[in-house]
Amino acid sequence: MSAGKLSLSRPACVGMALLVLAIMAMLLFRMEDNYHIGLLLSTCGLAWVGALPFRQWTRIDWILSLITVYELFSCYWAECMAPAIFPAFYAVFGWTVYFLLRRILAEGSIFYWVVEGGLIPIGIALLLAIGSFYVFRHSVLNSGFVDTYHFRFLFRPLGYITNVWAEVLLILLGWICLARRYSALFIFLCVLAILFSFSRGAYISLGIYLLAGLLWMETKREKIRLLAVGSTAIVLTACFLPQEMKTTLQMNRTVSQQQSTEGRIDAAHAAWNAFREHPLLGYGSGNFTYAIDHAMNQDSTHAFTSFAPNIIVQLLVEKGILGVMFYLLLTVVVLHFIWKHRQRSECRIIGCVLLALLAKEMTQATLLCVPFTFFMLYVLLAFLQSGEVVMEEKRERKASGYILPAVALVCFIAWNTPSLQSMEATPQWVNKAIEEMALYKNDGKTEHLSEAAKVLEEASERRPEDLQITYLQARLHCAKKETGEAETLLNGLVAAYPKNSLYLASLSDVQYRQDKKELALQSFVNAVRYMPRLLTNERVRKWRQTDTLFYQNLRDRLWLLRPAPGDTPSDYARYGYIARWCGNPSADTYLRKAVAALPNLATPWHLLGDDRKYRLLLLGAFRKELDTAELPEEQELADELMLEMAYFAKFKNWYGCPLITLQ
């Protein structure tokens, strides 16, 4: 439909457009909004201009509203409420801005005003990103490395990790292409920034966007502009960064690429098994890592990640069949809308963006986990339907004009109510138990252990899938001198997760206290095999001083450790660390083989005496006077620090508050 005369004044539309652009910039630059002022302002804006009458809602409007309601109710059946609150909040936030945009975009000229106004924060972001890439590359090359591919994790423009930044850029590229003027330079900078991410998923998605744009964009001028600008950026990247681009395009050549691919396949299998446990409603939004923790995040040789391997398994695990049906319905309706209105240039461009985003989400699911990308999904869907509403000459306040702002306001009040954040008792129980055990260690009063036992029992009953609670119960039994019960619990954990050094080291401690020294020795050797820093643990120092025979047996057993065929560079790095500690002359051979395949391993460079590279990897690429910066002393790997390393990120993700630390 063509837009009719808008019942809102021009200043009102411009004011609301500025509000939306301010919110977009706030999210793009990751500004903190602890009191959710953005939601409050957008709610006030929607209350002022009024929402579209229900009779003028499109199918997309209704389905997005159903998804928003589903996200809200998901908080109540989610396994962990805290991670479900995040997507529920941004669903309501995006939903509010979506209907605000739907209202003001009914006047066609406002659409291009919003799009072109958004080029200002986008341009600043792109210039900052490309400028910081120059600093990053200079630091990497100045440290003695030959290219930057393996060190992308050090490059975090605007605070985004590489894969997330690539998805942000894809959305920004679509926004830029919607602008009629000034877009060529911005397209060039955006494509260049995507290429500088050296992300395989980003390259695939960019290729799909460019190909879809060349085949489907409406005018010849748009196609030529996209082809010329995109080709220029690609050629320049190939000329000045040939090695990085070649490595990215080879897709599965390097060890890190192969490990990443294997890890995502394993995560997909684990996710499918988790989905079968809760098929209808899922585990709740944001609960992906909780659902697969027992299958994927109990190996000390693998890093923890909060992202799903692709959006399909994320939706299945978190939303269940019911939630997936809503998203499938939205996909079908959006595709039908784009095809029906394919004569509109905006629909074609947004269709290309959504296709590229889908491709990117099939390599790693970040769209629904990042505030900016989640928010922009709603904005793009509002842009898609710009000009679809015929406004009535007579402005009347309809029911929707009261209901939508009221819902958003209630949510705003709820999310600023502290009691909502403390409804989950498990984190308080766990932190209380850790604190009580620490107090017992200081004053020896047994009532601390009784209190710790009580709260851990409550936590275990509430969250039996949280294996770290079982570990804490084992440590509590150990503190109470109940080594038999502690050994039983730890044996169960080690049998299920034989590569978890936290469990192995604790089992070794319990076995040593029971005078089962051979078993204790084997358990500790296995723990060190997967986490060599355990050799800095206080127990090793005590053994050296008080039990020289056990200490010598430990050295002898570790001396015999050798890499096996098929071991990864990370394995060689661990064996090199162990060999260096034992005085084994094979240490340098193992360490050099490790960094030859994975030059982003930090500790091997330090052990090999190359502290320039070690400083870069330890302190980052943006540290002033990196070459002369003082290196921190290696911290002793105490039991409390091991627990923090294994549990802190999970705890924060699952329960929404930090784990108490006693370091």
**Are the beta carbons of 17 and 103 closer than 8 angstroms?**
no
pLDDT in tens, 602-622: 999 999 999 999 999 999 999
pTM, two decimal places: 0.94
Q: How far apart are CA 419 and CA 423, in angstroms?
A: 6
Q: Which residue is associated with the tokens 């605070």?
A: 159
Question: Taking residues 296-314, what's their average pLDDT?
Answer: 92
655: pLDDT strictly greater than 60: yes
pLDDT band at 662 (very low <50, low <70, confident <90, very high): low
Of 104-113, 409-418, 551-560, 625-634, give the lowest mean pLDDT range.
104-113
213-247 pLDDT, tens digit each:
999 887 888 899 999 999 999 999 999 999 999 99
Tell me the pLDDT tens digit for each residue of 40-99: 999 999 999 888 899 889 999 999 999 999 999 999 999 999 999 999 999 999 999 999
Top pLDDT among 65 and 6 is at 65
| Phi, psi (degrees; rounded to nearest 5) at 365 | -90, 105
Q: Give the C-alpha separation, 301 to 115, whole Å.
A: 46
pLDDT at 614: 96
pLDDT value for 222: 86
Q: What pLDDT shows up at residue 624?
A: 85
Mean pLDDT within 176-199: 93
User: What confidence category does residue 663 fall into, taking pLDDT thresholds of 50, 70 and 90?
Assistant: low
Residue 596: pLDDT over 70: yes
pLDDT value, residue 4: 41
The pLDDT confidence band at residue 201, using thresholds 50, 70 and 90, is very high
Which pLDDT band holds residue 582 (cuts at 50, 70, 90)?
very high
Alpha helix ranges (H) inside 143-254: 162-178, 183-196, 200-216, 220-240, 242-249
Model confidence band, residue 253 (pLDDT cutoffs 50, 70, 90): confident
Q: Does residue 484 register a pLDDT over 90?
A: yes
Mean pLDDT of the 249-274 span: 92
Q: Please report which confidence band the pLDDT of residue 388 belongs to, taking 50, 70 and 90 as the band edges.
A: low
Gap between the Cα atoms of 456 and 434, Å rounded = 9
Cα separation, 100 vs 16, in Å, equals 8
| CA separation for the pair 366, 331 (Å, rounded) | 18
For residues 354 and 308, what is the distance between their CA atoms, to the nearest angstrom?
Answer: 19
Going by C-beta distance under 8 Å and a sequence separation of 6 or more, which residues neighbour residue 72?
A: 88, 91, 92, 411
CB 317 within 8 A of CB 283: yes
Structural element, H or E, at residue 91: helix 81-104
Confidence class for position 3, pLDDT limits 50, 70, 90 = very low
Average pLDDT across the chain, whole number: 93
- How big is the chain by its Cα radius of gyration, in Å? 28
Q: Is the pLDDT of residue 140 over 70?
A: yes
Q: Is the pLDDT of residue 2 over 60?
A: no
Judge whether residue 422 has pLDDT over 90: no
On the CB side of 660, how many CA atoms lie within 13 Å of its CA?
Answer: 14
Give the pLDDT confidence score for residue 419 in this predicted structure: 64
Place of tokens 């005003």: 113
pLDDT tens for residues 18-27? Answer: 999 999 999 9
